[in-house]
Amino acid sequence: MHGAVALIEIGAVILGLGLLGALSAKFSISPIPLYLLAGLAFGKGGILPLATSEEFTATGAEIGVILLLFTLGLEYTAPELVGTLRHNAVAGVVDLVLNAAPGVAVALLLGWGPVAAVALGGITYVTSSGITAKVLADLQWLGNREVPVVLSLLVFEDLTMAVYLPILTALLAGVGLMAGLTTLAIAAATITVILIVALRFGRYVERFVSSPNEEVLLLKVLGLTVLVAGVAQLLQVSAAVGAFLVGIALSGPLAHTARELLTPLRDLFAAVFFVFFGLHTDPKALPPMLGWALLLAAVGLATKAATGWWAARRAGIGPLGRARAGIALTPRGEFNIVIAGLAVSAGLNDRIGPLAAAYVLILAVAGPILARSLEPVVRWRQRRRGTEPEPVVEPA
């Protein structure tokens, strides 16, 4: 009976996602906000909680983020990644300072203490790689000139998380300095090894997974990506970083074929990820912290938009591309909830969870909507000023 109920719930969830996707396509909007709201409706404290299929949605959500970052990695080669990271390192530091500062300030203002300030600073800092990747794909922005800038900032953030999460975990656990440094060293070594393999031995990786049979190729690529992501996470590194680096290790026709084969799976599990986030947010816990969440969200929109605009301007990109870069960085999601979950599990503060959930939900919904409406608004303003509109796509 338990298995039958689980199958019914899983089938209903996937069918519901299809109907929501059709609705969003009809009105030419991103489906992400609908997926999130559906998760809220059927999660803890919602209309009809789904409990039996929780294990499936949790695993599916992890696979969704992994595939989103892997397909992003397929867009670029390893030399391009290193060059872009080197060129945008300053922008990455600016991103860190501008966007972590509001969270640190609010935690200290509320009297939550320095450890909570470190946690809330991480929550306000990091962009949702999963939502941003979905937005870039949905709006067909992947070929635009500003996308390498956006990706370099996302990778910088993910690599920063690989350093930040072990430090935060050590602070929450109250462990000694040596134990914290050991965890950090393991994370750094793992990133270095994966990056060296991607840079130096990418051709061997391609030779290993290559196959004239599409079924075999799909299984090899999917298995390798999830395997590396799992090993990376086991060694205190983001699974997203591992998946992204596997993607950049593949190039040429093989990358093109892998992208075509994995796109349907990516879309399915990405949708499950967004529903999973909503399922684990209790609507009743949000109102008390809504005021602070709205304030942080407004500041977060401004600071991320400023970061993207400035970084894209340094790369010589036009005003429309700068605006796209800024708005693409605004969504928050998976990492933010992970950080909040660590803080709540450690008993740090019972208000940090609802604040983080409300903050992330606002920006997870607002980000895709603002991205969808950006170009029409910019072009309307350009027409009013009598200036020549920029092309919708700025080829890379």
**Close Cβ partners of 42 (under 8 Å, ≥ 6 residues apart):** 48, 49, 50, 275, 278, 279
Q: How far apart are CA 323 and CA 375, in angstroms?
A: 9
Residue 345: how many other CB atoms lie within 10 Å: 10
In contact, 311 and 137? CB cutoff 8 Å: no
SS3 of residue 304 by DSSP: helix
Q: How far apart are CA 143 and CA 136, in angstroms?
A: 9
Angle at 344 between CA 167 and CA 64, to 5 degrees: 80
**Close Cβ partners of 301 (under 8 Å, ≥ 6 residues apart):** 330, 363, 366, 370
Q: How far apart are CA 205 and CA 210, in angstroms?
A: 8
In contact, 54 and 278? CB cutoff 8 Å: no
In contact, 296 and 122? CB cutoff 8 Å: no
pLDDT digits (tens, 9 = 90+) for 207-228: 888 888 889 999 999 999 999 8
- Which one, of 142, 143, 150, 135, lies nearest residue 24 by Cα? 135
pLDDT digits (tens, 9 = 90+) for 50-97: 665 667 777 888 888 888 878 877 876 767 667 766 777 899 999 999
Per-residue pLDDT of the chain in tens (396 residues, 90 and over written 9): 556 777 887 788 888 888 988 887 777 666 877 887 788 777 766 666 666 566 777 788 888 888 887 887 787 676 766 776 677 789 999 999 999 999 999 999 999 999 899 999 999 999 988 788 888 888 888 788 888 889 889 888 877 876 787 778 778 877 655 666 776 677 677 767 777 777 777 778 888 888 888 899 999 999 999 998 888 778 766 677 778 778 877 877 888 888 889 888 888 888 887 787 777 777 777 888 899 999 999 999 999 999 999 999 988 898 889 999 999 999 987 778 778 877 877 788 878 888 988 898 889 888 888 888 887 887 777 777 765 555 544 444
β-partners of residue 395 are 144
pLDDT, residue 286, reads 80
In contact, 137 and 179? CB cutoff 8 Å: no
pLDDT, residue 171, reads 80
pLDDT, residue 246, reads 83
DSSP assignment of 21-89 equals HHHHHHTT--SHHHHHHHHHHTSTTSSS---TTHHHHHHHHHHHHHHHHHHHHTTS-HHHHHHHHHHTH
pLDDT, residue 178, reads 66
Angle at 21 between CA 15 and CA 22, to 5 degrees: 95
Taking each helix axis from N to C end, the angle separating 32-41 and 352-385, rounded to the nearest 10 degrees, works out to: 150
pLDDT, residue 395, reads 46
**Whole-prediction pTM value?**
0.73
85: which 2 tokens?
Answer: 């990271």
348: which 2 tokens?
Answer: 């740090």
